[in-house]
Amino acid sequence: MMNTKTRWTEYIVPGIIISAVLVFLAFFLVLPLAVIFAEAFSFNAWLEGESTLAEGWHAYWESFDDKYALPAIKLTLIAAAIAVPANAVFGIAAAWCIAKFNFWGKNVLITLIDLPLAISPVIAGLIFVLAFGQRSALGGWLIDHNIKIIFAVPGIVLATIFVTFPFVARELIPLMQEQGTLEEEAAVSLGASGWQTFWRITLPNIKWGLLYGLILCNARAMGEFGAVSVVSGHIRGETNTLPLYIETLYASYATVQSFTMATLLAMLGIITLIAKAAVEWKVKRERMK
Amino acid sequence: MSIEIKNITKRFGNFTALNNVNLKVNDGELIALLGPSGSGKTTLLRIIAGLEDFEPRDGTDILFKGKSVVGDPIGKRRIGFVFQHYALFRHQTVFENIAFGLRVRRGNERLSRTAIKKRVLELIHLIQLDTLENRYPDQLSGGQRQRVALARALAIEPKFLLLDEPFGALDARVRQNLRRWLRKLHDEIKLTSIFVTHDQEEALELADRIVVMNEGRIEQEGMPSEVFHKPKNEFVMDFLGNVNLFHEREDGSSVLGSENTSDLLKKYFVRPHEIDLVPPDNGGRGLPAVVKRVQLAGSLAKMELVDADGREIYVEFSHEKYNVYQFQVGNSVLAVPRKTVVFDDYAI
């Protein structure tokens, strides 16, 4: 009797739960990821004997040989290269003043930082179209001065910054609050200026949290679809980012090409996960020390 | 260098942390700010350092060597501040922590690398942490961290040293040692110093002068022996060590601790070492009580008594004196106050 009970709680129940999780993971994460690569390398055609592996491999690389592919990759990289540093600066500044100072409207600021997480990316895109588009007062002024924001690169960068807004700040606020201001006070009492205190004390103390936030921010910046889709205008070779280009290809039945591009984003995701795990491991080890 | 504080008031919302405080610290003195938590002692220390502002009013001022420093940035005041929980830079080694104040110097105050190294190693030697210079703060014990914090503050050649509960987070033994070490260090370098503590023993042992604070005011200041033996009021008497409270009745009998009787005349405060105990058959005036606990370990014999109403009396004897009667638990005794303190401001 006793024996049955132990076996039940020790092996069977955990076994069922773990199997359920594994099946779930396989269906919703591993399988889709595998499909991306399978489609990109034309595995299906090979399995059905319609083509060879070498042909699939060849088709994969040929997909890059498209005059719109490289500009899309480039634009995605540009948007991320601007959005990530911008968010780093903003995130540190916001976390700094929220965590280390008390001021009127602090809670409003914290809520505003969360706004991009709360609203749909499509709405975020629309906000920019309404603000900078032809019909707005600002948009009219911009057209008069020949500055293009909507359906151009600046709009894509703005939308990307908007949706990735919370990542760094959200990561740093609790960290900085936990660390308090004592070390900064000590630094100032020893004669350090504000800048010196920031570079020598505050920044080193938050570096891992910052890196973690930047990794997540970067992944989102490169993968963003909704908001960018609204402001981009889908001009091939000009305002198509990688995710938008994948969608365009897929919609025009260029399956192999579309999945080939998708492997890039999938790889980015995998690299992000590895980097994130590495940072977490490093932080854990530093805590243990 | 002397410090003078004039009419400082500080409020946090509705709470008055400091109420018109005046204080003068002489050159080379070691002063203790003693008081319970919430008495404003740490706030006063932080205001002197410039880490906290105060209410600007007429006649309000902080003077270092006769010169006002109000409005001077913290860094310019050149104060060595030792924080309660040390506030060491966690990602820097012992060496880097101590060197910090020298490395951030700008302009013609900058020191060469070798000069910084020399000075830091001297300080590491002073705090007896040679060979530990490459450790990180979380690899040090509490006492070692405290000494690093002190060396870091001393590195900038401060005009004063301000210490916020310097031994608060340490265990009793380390605290004792570090206390003596700090006193010795002060005697050697003669740096004007103020430390904050809630531990009366620490204040009595370490300080040249004690400033007793309560509810944002200074209750009394003076030499340790002065505040201990001549407390100005009930608060100081009570805060500086154990105390027994007696009431005298109109009929002349002494009653311990009871406050709700209408025929009370006076309130007496008696220190545990200022009570004599005699066997009840000796006659004479005194309060009948029964010995409840005897504690003979340590330099003094300590006894707890209970009177007829169940109130406790604390008594301390030297061992020689204890040996005269050798009272045991359960013995009946008469407690006779030898020296009592009555405060004028006490009114029924």
A199: contact with B, CB 8 A cutoff: no
B104: contact with A, CB 8 A cutoff: yes
Angle between helix A242-251 and helix A203-223 axes, rounded to 10 deg:
20
pTM summary value: 0.77
Q: Please say if the pLDDT value at position B348 is more than 70.
A: no
A196: contact with B, CB 8 A cutoff: yes
Per-residue model confidence (pLDDT) at position A66: 79
A282: contact with B, CB 8 A cutoff: no
User: Looking at this protein, which amino acid is placed at residue A13?
Assistant: V
For B104-149, what is each residue's pLDDT tens digit?
988 888 889 999 999 999 999 988 888 898 999 999 988 899 899 9
The answer to whether the Cβ–Cβ distance between A204 and B91 falls below 8 Å is yes
For B257-305, what is each residue's pLDDT tens digit?
545 555 556 677 888 888 888 888 876 677 888 899 999 898 899 999 9
Of residues A182, A188, A200, nearest to B74 (C-beta): A188
Smallest Cα distance from A182 to chain B, Å: 6
Of residues A190, A204, A289, nearest to B100 (C-beta): A190
Residues of B in contact with A194 (CB under 8 A): none
Higher-confidence residue: B344 or B243?
A: B243
For A147-180, what is each residue's pLDDT tens digit?
788 888 888 999 999 999 899 999 999 999 888 8
B337 contact partners, CB below 8 Å, separation of at least 6: B244, B246, B254, B268, B270, B274, B275, B276
A288: contact with B, CB 8 A cutoff: no
Q: What is the percentage of chain B residues whose pLDDT exceeds 70?
A: 93
A74: contact with B, CB 8 A cutoff: no
**Residue B346's pLDDT band (boundaries 50, 70, 90)?**
very low
Of residues B51, B88, B138, nearest to A189 (C-beta): B51
Per-residue model confidence (pLDDT) at position A11: 84
Smallest Cα distance from A288 to chain B, Å: 10
The answer to whether the Cβ–Cβ distance between A186 and B104 falls below 8 Å is no
The answer to whether the Cβ–Cβ distance between B83 and A186 falls below 8 Å is yes
Residues of A in contact with B87 (CB under 8 A): 182-183, 185-186
**Residue B256's pLDDT band (boundaries 50, 70, 90)?**
low
Smallest Cα distance from B148 to chain A, Å: 13
Smallest Cα distance from A192 to chain B, Å: 5
Q: Please say if the pLDDT value at position A127 is more than 90.
A: no
Q: What is the mean pLDDT of residues A252-260?
A: 85
Residues of B in contact with A199 (CB under 8 A): none
B107: contact with A, CB 8 A cutoff: no
Residues of A in contact with B91 (CB under 8 A): 204-205
Residues of B in contact with A189 (CB under 8 A): 49, 51, 74-75, 79-81, 153
Per-residue model confidence (pLDDT) at position B257: 52
Per-residue model confidence (pLDDT) at position A285: 80
Residues of A in contact with B85 (CB under 8 A): 182
Q: Please say if the pLDDT value at position A82 is more than 90.
A: yes
ipTM over cut 0.90: no
The answer to whether the Cβ–Cβ distance between B105 and A189 falls below 8 Å is no
Smallest Cα distance from B102 to chain A, Å: 8
Q: CB–CB of A172/A97 below 8 Å?
A: no
Phi–psi pair at A99, nearest 5 degrees: -80, -30
For A30-77, what is each residue's pLDDT tens digit?
898 888 888 888 877 777 777 777 888 888 888 887 788 888 888 999
A111: contact with B, CB 8 A cutoff: no
Helix ranges (H only) for chain A are 2-7, 13-25, 31-40, 43-47, 53-63, 69-100, 106-118, 121-132, 137-144, 153-179, 182-189, 194-197, 203-223, 226-232, 242-251, 255-288
Q: Please say if the pLDDT value at position A4 is more than 80.
A: no
Q: What is the mean pLDDT of residues A271-281?
A: 87
How far out from the chain centre does Cα B58 lie? 31
A200: contact with B, CB 8 A cutoff: yes
For residue B98, give the chain A residue with the closest CA: A190
Smallest Cα distance from B2 to chain A, Å: 19
Q: Please say if the pLDDT value at position B342 is more than 80.
A: no
The answer to whether the Cβ–Cβ distance between A187 and B106 falls below 8 Å is no
Of residues A188, A201, A205, nearest to B75 (C-beta): A188
Smallest Cα distance from A194 to chain B, Å: 10
Beta bridge partners of B218: B213
User: Listing from the earlier edge strand, what are the strands of the sheet with B264-270?
Assistant: B254-256, B244-249, B264-270
Higher-confidence residue: B173 or B97?
A: B97
Q: What is the mean pLDDT of residues B228-235?
A: 86
Residues of B in contact with A203 (CB under 8 A): none
A179 contact partners, CB below 8 Å, separation of at least 6: A99, A205, A206
**Residue B347's pLDDT band (boundaries 50, 70, 90)?**
very low
Write out residues 164-193 of A within 8 Å (CB-CB) of B: 182-183, 185-193
CA-closest candidate to residue B249, choices B270, B268, B267, B264: B264
Tokens 């006659």 correspond to B283
Q: What is the percentage of chain A residues whose pLDDT exceeds 90?
A: 24
Q: What is the percentage of chain A residues whose pLDDT exceeds 70?
A: 97
Q: What is the mean pLDDT of residues A176-202?
A: 90
Q: CB–CB of B327/B290 below 8 Å?
A: no
For B169-222, what is each residue's pLDDT tens digit?
788 888 888 888 888 888 888 899 999 999 888 899 899 999 999 999 999 999
For A86-108, what is each residue's pLDDT tens digit?
999 999 999 988 888 888 888 89
Domains along the sequence of chain B with CATH: 3-239 (3.40.50.300), 244-337 (2.40.50.140)
CA-closest candidate to residue B264, choices B272, B276, B256, B275: B256
The answer to whether the Cβ–Cβ distance between B139 and A200 falls below 8 Å is no
Share the mean pLDDT of chain B. Answer: 85
Residues of A in contact with B75 (CB under 8 A): 188-193
Phi–psi pair at B304, nearest 5 degrees: -115, 130
Per-residue model confidence (pLDDT) at position A289: 56
